[in-house]
Amino acid sequence: MIVERSIYIVDDHADFRFILKQLFSMAVPRSTTRLFENGQALLDGLNQSDALPVLILMDCHMPVLDGYQTILQLKQSAAYRHIPVVMMSSEADSSEIRNLYRAGANSFIRKPIEFTAQMELVAQLGKYWLDTNLIE
């Protein structure tokens, strides 16, 4: 039996969320994705869900509750601290990236602009976080 595993994508840009969802469905067909527009929406979704994701892919810069504040809350929660969180941004500097790691980020990636780079990124994320790094 194939087990579907969920990936939560958190980004304030609807187009980018949609593209990532489509790419994950092609690159990692045994996974499902849920989309959230900011950190508060993610926390609300986690609190209302019966199942937890195997990976959270989250933008750093969002309104309402940004990535940094969200990861602090996730890592302080016994229920959620084990979920791997990959932070992403196209604008983060080295100081911000260090702070994200200190807050509990498992990884940081630069958001790719080009579609082919986005496809490659999603394939690599799926391969590592859902195949190589067994977290079940």
Domain boundaries, the chain: 5-132
Distance CA 81, CA 6 (A): 16
| 98, amino acid identity | R
Predicted structure pTM score: 0.87
Q: Does domain 5-132 have CATH number 3.40.50.2300?
A: yes
CB atoms within 10 A of CB 96: 16
Residue 132 pLDDT level (bands cut at 50, 70, 90): low
Q: What is the dihedral of CA 33, 84, 118, 16, to 10 degrees?
A: 50
Average pLDDT over residues 3-18: 86
Distance CA 82, CA 48 (A): 18
